[in-house]
Structure 1
């Protein structure tokens, strides 16, 4: 799942309120634990139909208080139902849940902050809804539905004055604001707020009222200096994006959703698909990575079978837009180089290949002699600029070290600031036959050293496009990572982990808001910040 930092940079909500029914229980079972984990609140309140309480007690984390609808809806339930024409009777539940949200908010104290959160929406990272300046923070929606604003005009006499929509699956509000809203409506109409709403909503419209747009318009007029929109992306069409919420843990989902703060799985989106994951993903139009995968035929939900780093690289290089690759420890550009198949031809990318050993630098320059989009840098990479002693096996000795096989020229890939690492790998390859074992001491004696210049990754980072940082530093990965400019983190980091322990790299990357994507020997992480 998406790994996140547990340090909240804002203030906790007092109440998180959500509404669900058994039609969405599968989605709810995925969302509920992550709501608790990623949205900090004093109380978590779930409102469900009375007869469905046993279902939700079984599948809902204990921290949620489960409240029956009747506790909130007795004053308006039947009148609302009677007001909806038979042609739109299937929309009763949709209208009812909006009235329930307002009713639940009214029960909150004046000084509390409550968050309405749609039950079909899954947070992908930790979220906050109040700034340090105590402004409430709203995500932007793109909806523009005229009947909503016709209703608002009739109810409040107010026009839309903000460019964005408030329909964004979640809505923070202060207790004082909802009380002021209700008081203004009731004074204006001389009746209870719900009666006033029922009078002004055009129920011949399948979607004639939005509690988010109504309350948002009210707040934008009455408290314009106490809220602001945040420009953070979220994904509304979850079924189109990844097929089904059950795919949320997959490599595919992480790659598609890594920029989003949350994702919604609404029924209308599900119904728009031909069937529930029974058509190829290319029909959903998601992206080239999905269409390149093999889909299991035995699994009714057709979960994709991911093939690891090669599949990730194919996806990365097929993405639209500018990309920049920084490869630390490029060697000769051929030897066990996972990037080579993708650097053969120019594309929508530039690359900086970094190698400190002169012999391999010359090989790289020869390999890419006709490429202006690939830059070769002769240096090592660390956490500070300077010089260091690099140990490596001379190429003419490395040529002798395949032994009885495999013929993979492995020794050409050995170079480290720590001589013992070279020693380790020479001994580790003793499986290469008797002749090789007899020459181990000779090979070790031939380890040579050279003083090389050291620069930082920050020297090679770019300000535009997505960046992939590839690191093969023979035990010095942490030193390389400490030289990154973390004010502009690489979108993806791939590092070689070949000694059965990454030296703290995974923990370090998690602390920087990265999440593991795939790979065993070469591991890929994506930045979620």
Structure 2
């Protein structure tokens, strides 16, 4: 199955995001066996997008009224959708910030919301999932008939408030994390490495490894294993780490 997906993605790179969204919907289901429905539960999700596209947790979180969480999304128009898709519920904390190495202001790149209307079918439906601290990352999964020159005028360079993970958690007075979910288009390890696992010891950590260089893939697993997590691939795109005690 894995080799088949690799062949498909190599031949048809534009299928990457749609396949990722569908694949994740099914592969993430086993995560929830580690939690009891309606038990007190707190999650932190970094890179929430609009809370629906390819999201592993939205439905189960909304269906369990004792579950609360902190959701982080730096892209302004996606942040507004995110709040609306969670009905602006007071069970959730919403942060329109980027997680970065330092607190302050950082440049963040994303595709303009108007791009879809103006570029039409050339622009895939998942264009708004490509926000990144790295401008070059946005161009990695473009359809063959949409080159960088077509898209370049629609790339927004925004000045976004940046926080480190310790700053984020302290500002929101987070004391316990049951699930940590990171999906940040290649910056997952940099964010994961900011977690104080002596203070916060989530039962489950889920992060995207598909965009990480090999050195960071290995470093992420080594970090988690050093804190008594068992790591395993979770589908093609993610790594699932389960706390062993």
TM band (smaller chain): 0.7 to 0.9
Deviation at 1:326, TM superposition (A): 0.6
Are residues 1:514 and 2:229 paired? yes
Query: Does structure 2 retain, via aligned residues, the 8 Å contact 1:346–1:373?
Result: no
Deviation at 1:375, TM superposition (A): 1.5
Are residues 1:424 and 2:140 paired? yes
Q: What corresponds to 2:149 in structure 1?
A: 441
- What does residue range 65-104 of structure 1 map to in structure 2 within 5 Å? none
Query: Structure 1 residues 369 and 320 mapped into 2: Cα distance closer, same or farther (>3 Å)?
Result: closer
Are residues 1:477 and 2:195 paired? no
- The separation in 2 between residues aligned to 1:402 and 1:311, in whole angstroms, is 37
Q: What corresponds to 2:158 in structure 1?
A: 450
- The separation in 2 between residues aligned to 1:384 and 1:515, in whole angstroms, is 29
Query: Structure 1 residues 399 and 323 mapped into 2: Cα distance closer, same or farther (>3 Å)?
Result: farther
1:415 maps to which of 110, 131, 151? 131
Q: What corresponds to 1:309 in structure 2?
A: 28
Any idea what SS the aligned residue of 1:469 has?
A: strand
Query: Does structure 2 retain, via aligned residues, the 8 Å contact 1:329–1:355?
Result: yes
Query: Does structure 2 retain, via aligned residues, the 8 Å contact 1:423–1:444?
Result: no
- The separation in 1 between residues aligned to 2:29 and 2:87, in whole angstroms, is 25
- What does residue range 314-325 of structure 1 map to in structure 2 within 5 Å? 314-319=32-37, 321-325=39-43
- The structure 1 segments of at least 4 consecutive aligned residues displaced by more than 4 Å after TM superposition are 398-402
Query: Structure 1 residues 346 and 401 mapped into 2: Cα distance closer, same or farther (>3 Å)?
Result: farther
Residue-by-residue CA offset, 1:343-382 (whole Å, 9 max, x unaligned): 3334231111101111111111222235111111110113
| Higher RCO (Cα < 8 Å, 6 or more apart) | 2
Any idea what SS the aligned residue of 2:63 has?
A: coil
Residue-by-residue CA offset, 1:170-212 (whole Å, 9 max, x unaligned): xxxxxxxxxxxxxxxxxxxxxxxxxxxxxxxxxxxxxxxxxxx
Deviation at 1:315, TM superposition (A): 1.9
- The separation in 1 between residues aligned to 2:151 and 2:158, in whole angstroms, is 17
Give the length in aligned residue pairs: 211
Which structure has the larger Rg over C-alpha atoms?
Answer: 1
Structure 2 gap ranges (5+): 1-25
TM-score of the superposed pair, with normalisation by structure 1: 0.37
Q: What corresponds to 1:345 in structure 2?
A: 63
Any idea what SS the aligned residue of 1:499 has?
A: coil
Any idea what SS the aligned residue of 1:494 has?
A: strand
Any idea what SS the aligned residue of 2:186 has?
A: coil
2:203 maps to which of 491, 512, 524? 491
Deviation at 1:470, TM superposition (A): 0.7
Any idea what SS the aligned residue of 2:160 has?
A: strand
Q: What corresponds to 1:330 in structure 2?
A: 48
Query: Does structure 1 retain, via aligned residues, the 8 Å contact 2:38–2:67?
Result: no
Any idea what SS the aligned residue of 1:415 has?
A: coil
Query: Does structure 2 retain, via aligned residues, the 8 Å contact 1:309–1:522?
Result: no
TM-score of the superposed pair, with normalisation by structure 2: 0.75
